Amino acid sequence: MSEQRMTPVSALQPPYYAVVFTSLRTEGDAGYGETAERLGELVQDVPGFLGEDSARTPGGLAITVAYFRDLDGIEQWRAHAEHRAAKEYGRAHWYERYCLHIAKVEHSHGFERTPQAILTERAS
Residue 17 has pLDDT above 90, yes or no: yes
User: CA–CA separation, 22 vs 29, rounded Å?
Assistant: 16
Q: How far is CA 59 from the centre of its chain?
A: 19
What is the radius of gyration, based on Cα positions, of the chain? 17
Range of the domain at 67: 16-123
Decide if 3 is inside a domain.
Answer: no
Decide if 8 is inside a domain.
Answer: no
Beta bridge partners of 16: 105
pLDDT value at residue 122: 52
CATH classification at residue 22: 3.30.70.100
Decide if 113 is inside a domain.
Answer: yes
pTM of the predicted model, to two decimals?
0.85
Decide if 43 is inside a domain.
Answer: yes
Mean pLDDT of 19-33: 91
- Strand segments, DSSP code E, in 1-124 are 16-25, 49-56, 61-68, 95-105
pLDDT value at residue 24: 96
Collapsing DSSP to helix, strand or coil, 80 comes out as: coil
What confidence tens digit (pLDDT) does each residue in 34-69 have?
999 999 999 999 999 999 999 999 999 999 999 999
* Residues with Cβ within 8 Å of residue 17, at least 6 apart in sequence: 67, 68, 69, 70, 71, 73, 74, 102, 103, 104, 105
Residue 71 has pLDDT above 50, yes or no: yes
Decide if 7 is inside a domain.
Answer: no
